[in-house]
Structure 1
Amino acid sequence: MAVPAPVLVTGFDPFGGQSVNPSWQAVQALHGTHILGHPLIGAQLPTTFAGSVQALRESLRQHRPTLVLCTGQAGGRARLSLERVAINVDDARIPDNAGAQPVDAPVIDGAPAAYFTTLPIKAMLAALTHAGIEAEVSQTAGTFVCNHVFYALMHELATDPRWRKTRGGLIHVPFLPEQGQPSMRLARIVQGLKVAAECALATRRDIRMEAGAIS
């Protein structure tokens, strides 16, 4: 019997003066678990424009996942943010962990202006809300390293035939309580990512929701 293809879940190392990054804390907790028979493999990406995409591509080649959930920290947000769109712009408010601070630079020269996620984000939102996890669909992933990785992932999935059956996207997570407010407990973030992954694996076609049905 064939072993189900893995789910790759990525998080970032701490940045911006923080001592922890909740995205990586949650990914560590998920690593080695299973969702609907699929093993979850966690990978840490450096919070650098130069190194993050290389590390992502290496993980893709090594694990050949059926689903990729990139996660990142979004201080100031109180909910899990299911990102809709990645844009082809790097515009850093602060330097990355290597000191790089690009301004109005493309993620990939000559590539499309944007890519939409291939995750069923409306179905995921409904599943998270049903599970009592605070979540939202977000229309902006920013222009820092999270968006950089999100865009590069979607470009890879769209242009490399090896990944024609692989879906992916980005989920931003709030601060942990010790980092400041608003925040979310680590156990709740982990639970939310499990619910999101299970829904993404089980849902091939996203649902439509009436405006205002879930706030």
Structure 2
Amino acid sequence: MKMLVTGFEPFGGDPENASHEAVRRLADAWAADPQAGVELVTGVLPVAFAAAGPALTALVDEHAPDAVLAVGEAGSRSAITPERWAVNADDARIPDNGGDQPRGTVIDPEGPARRESAFDADALASAVLAVGLPADASEDAGRFLCNHVAYLVAGLRRDGAPIPGGFVHVPAVRSSGTATVGAETDAPAARSALATETGTDASRDASALTHDGEALTFDDLALGLAAMVRAVASGDAQRASTRETGRVDRASTVIDAAPEVVYEALLDPVALAAWLPPEGATGTIEHMDAREGGGFRAVLRFADPADTKTDATTDVSQVRFVELVPGSRVEQTVTFDSGEERFRGEMRMTWRLEPVEAGTRVTVAATDVPAGISQSDHELGLGSSLANLARHLAR
């Protein structure tokens, strides 16, 4: 698959645009570590109503992509937000980079009032959450350039055939200082509500929004974009898909540690007890036998339990090691101690470790998942565990 990912040029007086910087870093990371089956091409769009459409068309004509993901920044948002749809309206509260300020005009007089993204926004958000970053599906792309491009992307065609396309907003991160633009996506009321919720002036100080106590960076945003590209390429983000057929639950992140160090943390019972329990849980690891054919017993206890498997507050599972490749792979089976049929069965999990420039890319994939386990909840939990692992190894 060839996938085109676009960002926007800087807007107004700001020297940076988070979408552009994130896409640039995505391209650099992909070039350094190409992903099998995905050819990535990127481009930059002007922040101008009259020029953005022709620039998008030119990129599509040049690269002939199989799918397109357009990226813009939203100064009032603290999470990466895939858009569900765009509306057929331009209503700019401020001028674009060319001085144009359309008010209450349609984008395509012959087009529908709303176009849905070709991608499942919830699945894209799940992919981002799985790499440990904040994400949520969005119902409103605004009425500025982002919505304009989102509407065009959702209607792309080549030789009469549709090109799957979608749009995602990233927070208006800056390498220094704070964003002075980027809040055009959301109405003042929405920005005010967010400021009340977060205790910050979200319309002005987007770069101060944090993740795990640290400021989001352009590299974080690029990691989130990479997760969405993989979700699209694998078919997990197809809007019409149930995602349950041939189900594989996945999560991935990059950890600042050597593969050998990460591998040890997958087999050390003290380390496992520290990082394996997802957010809201604690755990113990019992009877560790770290060899092929061996295994351990995991007991997870939840402070605010919801649909636990063993008793009202606890999940207990027996893990067996199927294959251990030092510094590279841990393959295991997991059987839950449960009296409910929907949690029965032997789930297979594979942890893969790949050396990358920033350390180790850790990917976990689960198959034969019991029917009673929600895919989105499972991937969220796996992503939480991986974020714990990254923090544990950073100490």
Residue aligning to 2:66:
66
Structure 1 residues not aligned, in runs of 5+: none
Provide Cα deviations, 1:24-68, integer angstroms capped at 9, x if missing partner: 111112226233421211100000000000000011111111111
Q: Are positions 1:199 and 2:256 aligned together?
A: no
Residue aligning to 1:99:
99
Distance 2:109 2:95 in 1: 21
Contact 2:153 2:167 in 1 (8 A): no
The alpha-carbon distance between structure 1 residues 125 and 190, as it changes in their structure 2 partners (threshold 3 A), is: same
Residue aligning to 1:10:
6
Which AA in structure 1 matches 2:115?
A: Y
Contact 1:11 1:24 in 2 (8 A): yes
Any idea what SS the aligned residue of 2:71 has? strand
Which AA in structure 2 matches 1:155?
A: G
Q: 1:28 aligns with which of 3, 24, 27?
A: 24
Give the TM-score normalised by the residue count of structure 1. Answer: 0.88
Contact 2:122 2:136 in 1 (8 A): no
More deviation, 175-184/17-26: 175-184
Distance 1:199 1:86 in 2: 21
Distance 1:27 1:115 in 2: 24
Which AA in structure 2 matches 1:146?
A: C
Distance 1:44 1:63 in 2: 13
Residue aligning to 1:182:
206
Displacement of 1:76 in angstroms is 1.2
Which AA in structure 1 matches 2:165?
A: G
Contact 2:2 2:66 in 1 (8 A): yes
Displacement of 1:163 in angstroms is 3.9
Displacement of 1:172 in angstroms is 0.4
Residue aligning to 1:78:
78
Task: Give the strand-richer structure, 1 or 2.
Answer: 2
Residue aligning to 1:171:
168
Contact 1:128 1:134 in 2 (8 A): yes
Any idea what SS the aligned residue of 1:29 has? helix
Provide Cα deviations, 1:111-156, integer angstroms capped at 9, x if missing partner: 1101000112222222221221100100000101111111112222
Measured on the aligned residues, the alpha-carbon RMSD in Å equals 2.0
Residue aligning to 2:145:
145
| Identity percentage of aligned residues | 33
Which AA in structure 1 matches 2:72?
A: G
More deviation, 196-205/44-53: 196-205
Distance 1:206 1:162 in 2: 27
Give the TM-score normalised by the residue count of structure 2. Answer: 0.49
Any idea what SS the aligned residue of 2:206 has? coil
Structure 2 residues not aligned, in runs of 5+: 180-204, 208-215, 245-373, 381-395
Distance 1:19 1:146 in 2: 18
Contact 1:120 1:207 in 2 (8 A): no
Number of residue equivalences: 205
More deviation, 26-35/42-51: 26-35
Any idea what SS the aligned residue of 2:136 has? strand
Distance 2:125 2:118 in 1: 14
